[in-house]
Amino acid sequence: MCGIVGAIADRDVVPLLIDGLKRLEYRGYDSAGIAILGDTCVRRVRRTGRVAEMESAALAESFVSPLGIGHTRWATHGGVTENNAHPHISHGELALVHNGIIENHEQQRARLQALGYEFESQTDTEVVAHLIHHYRAQGASLLQALQTAVRDLDGAYAIAVIDQRDPSRMVAARMGCPLLVGLGDGENFVASDVSAIVSSTRRVIFLEEGDTAELTREGVAVFDTDGTPVQREEHLSDVSLASLELGPYRHFMQKEIHEQPRAIADTIEALMGVGGFAPELFGADAAEVLRDVDSVQILACGTSYYAGLTARYWIEGMVGIPCAVEVASEYRYRTAVANPRQLIVTISQSGETLDTMEALKYAKSLGHARTLSICNVPESAIPRASRLVYHTRAGAEIGVASTKAFTTQLVALFTLTATLAKLRGKLAALQEAELLEALRHLPGSVQHALNLEPQIAVWAERFSPRQHALFLGRGVHYPIALEGALKLKEISYIHAEAYPAGELKHGPLALVDKDMPVVVIAPNDRLLEKVKSNMQEVRARGGELFVFTDADSQFGESEGVHVIRTPRHVGVLSPIVHTIPVQLLAYHTALARGTDVDKPRNLAKSVTVE
Ligand code: HGA
């Protein structure tokens, strides 16, 4: 959330900043702004809304500079106004962009006001600009002022700062929010993620917690929390420009839905390479970590949490050990019972989800040493803090509503399940071969589900005028109903709730009438007959049913019962295949309602604030 980009070069960096902000816009789109050096004071342009609007203003005002910073905002403190948009400026001299939340901002604001500083925004961020200015005024260099100022802060931040009086450098700091440095040839960059700078460089350094950095055209110096110079490893990013482009698609979400066969194939490539469910897929010492695990605790948020809920059915069913799944923001603030033999699994697309990271830190503080991260960005904070890692190879996910990240997380969790089962002697060789075969065919089954798109688009037309919808599933398909409801809420703004189908009669059935569409995930598994009874309960109250099933389920359309079938039942992997229709339903309903599919209101990707 919130995107930061900064550049120092021998050329005009404004086009780089604007291009970078466009690529970071998925992280926040309440407002956008850039600040550059001027003749006597820092120049700034900010606009609420999209980067494109800010770009026009920057062009109109002839913004040109070899040094600058930019920001796309997802507001946490202070409304969506131009005054609250970043960069924030102190005394016309110092400009700052910030991702995160300064928890003690009120206290710092009072302190700075007593020192004579005037505030023009309601943000928590503005205190940081004035604090750095305050220490500069006492004679500190820009870097020293930043390093002193961050000691006064509680909370989370990624920060980049420029100062009119020191035109040859930019400084940056990181604590709790992602920030990387890009290394160019005679030019250097900072960014929230590599997509912002990939057209200029692929050489990156990931700043660590508490790091500060000083960038000049010629070089970059990094310092740890104590201010001691440190060497951080340089990485070569493999993010391709093509993966960040829309190509022939209308939306990134559409592109990412259609990329799922390839994303799944890439995610299982290593597994197919070793030809079996080998612990090494999760890290060098995974056999030792996983062997005598006696239970699993999954921690995640949002869509990743639903991936975890799905995995619970697999793990308890196939491995025979208890598996609990908890929303990370709840786990981190309760008194959890430590169990050294428990495996802690965190799931996060970005690897920077703050709640999940904090939950992991909390688990480790309780003594949990067996930690595994399932993540789509290998160099990010959560995998780096975990002992084992499974890298989902979904590729860059730009659409705010997660799609290919979810299905590849499911693949990773299924691989974990089978690996744990094998380690415990619960997976015979024949069964292992069958599961590998099923996974090998999964991209094809997902493609078949994608081919249902035209039929689903017709359903979406009927959904688009509705205000509410229910999603039902049972067993391992209940989390897919939850995911379907979440997708619909996120991008079409239709109020949707999911229930285990058997729960309907205990309350939610009261909501059902002819205006309530009810989506049912009803593949041909052992609960199908039960689900059919639950569907009858809906029909008897006049509810209209939209049923996703598979060709083996043997039930047809009738008055008020619409059916779309995937070609065949794919057994234990069925939840993955049945995710595709609910994604497509949400996508096409949003299209029909004319909402902004990739940038739904009030949301942003990579949730790096609490
Ligand atoms: N707290 C700052 C930055 C918000 C942020 O990082 N969002 O992800 C603000 O509200 O402007």
Judge whether residue 442 has pLDDT over 90. Answer: yes
Residue 348 structure tokens: 């996060």
Predicted local confidence at residue 186, as pLDDT: 97
Q: State the CB neighbour count (10 A cutoff) for residue 449.
A: 26
d(CA 423, CA 280): 12
Residue 607 lies in a domain: no
**pLDDT tens-digit readout, 138-157:** 999 999 999 999 999 999 99
Residue nearest to atom 11 of ligand 1 (CA): 75
What's the N-to-C CA distance of the chain in angstroms?
11
Distance from the alpha carbon of residue 463 to the mean position of ligand 1, in angstroms: 35
Ligand 1 pocket: which of 123, 154, 353, 610 to mutate (most atoms within 8 A of CB): 123
Ligand 1 pocket: which of 29, 30, 73 to mutate (most atoms within 8 A of CB): 73
d(CA 342, CA 157): 32
Do 269 and 226 have their domain in common? no
DSSP SS3 for 342? strand
Do 72 and 181 have their domain in common? yes
Residue 48 lies in a domain: yes
Judge whether residue 555 has pLDDT over 90. Answer: no
End position of a domain, from candidates 189, 212, 244: 244
State how far Cα 35 lies from the chain centre.
Answer: 27
Do 495 and 370 have their domain in common? no
Predicted local confidence at residue 534, as pLDDT: 87
d(CA 404, CA 324): 24
Residue 446 lies in a domain: no
Residue 41 binned pLDDT confidence (cut-offs 50, 70, 90): very high
Do 235 and 256 have their domain in common? no
Domain that holds residue 404: 252-438
Judge whether residue 379 has pLDDT over 90. Answer: no
Residue 329 lies in a domain: yes
Do 471 and 389 have their domain in common? no
Do 223 and 262 have their domain in common? no
Do 428 and 460 have their domain in common? no
Judge whether residue 341 has pLDDT over 80. Answer: yes
Active site residue 2: yes
CATH of the domain at 492: 3.40.50.10490
Distance from the alpha carbon of residue 86 to the mean position of ligand 1, in angstroms: 9
Average pLDDT over residues 418-436: 97
C-alpha angle 235/142/45, rounded to 5°? 80
Residue 602 lies in a domain: no
Residue 33 binned pLDDT confidence (cut-offs 50, 70, 90): very high
Which atom of ligand 1 sits closest to the CA of residue 607? 8
**pLDDT tens-digit readout, 467-493:** 999 999 999 999 999 999 999 999 999
Do 160 and 303 have their domain in common? no
Which atom of ligand 1 sits closest to the CA of residue 100? 6
Residue 598 lies in a domain: no
pTM score: 0.91
Domains in the chain, number: 3
Which atom of ligand 1 sits closest to the CA of residue 76? 10
Distance from the alpha carbon of residue 609 to the mean position of ligand 1, in angstroms: 8
Do 229 and 316 have their domain in common? no
Do 273 and 194 have their domain in common? no
**pLDDT tens-digit readout, 97-124:** 999 999 999 999 999 999 999 999 999 9
> Which residue out of 2, 301, 323, 375 is catalytically annotated?
2
Residue 509 lies in a domain: yes
Distance from the alpha carbon of residue 608 to the mean position of ligand 1, in angstroms: 9
Ligand 1 pocket: which of 72, 96, 98, 105 to mutate (most atoms within 8 A of CB): 98
Judge whether residue 593 has pLDDT over 80. Answer: yes
End position of a domain, from candidates 244, 268, 300: 244
**pLDDT tens-digit readout, 218-270:** 999 999 999 999 999 999 998 888 888 999 999 999 999 999 999 999 999 99
Judge whether residue 36 has pLDDT over 80. Answer: yes
Do 466 and 583 have their domain in common? yes
Predicted local confidence at residue 241, as pLDDT: 83
Q: Contacts by 46-55 with C-beta closer than 8 Å and gap 24+?
A: 46/82, 46/85, 46/86, 46/87, 47/82, 47/85, 48/80, 48/81, 48/82, 48/85, 50/25, 51/18, 51/21, 51/22, 51/25, 52/22, 54/18, 54/21, 55/18
Q: List residues near ligand 1 (CB under 6 A).
A: 1-2, 28, 73-78, 98-101, 123-125, 608-609
End position of a domain, from candidates 382, 407, 438: 438
Do 210 and 72 have their domain in common? yes
CATH of the domain at 28: 3.60.20.10
Residue 580 lies in a domain: yes
Distance from the alpha carbon of residue 82 to the mean position of ligand 1, in angstroms: 14
d(CA 497, CA 506): 15
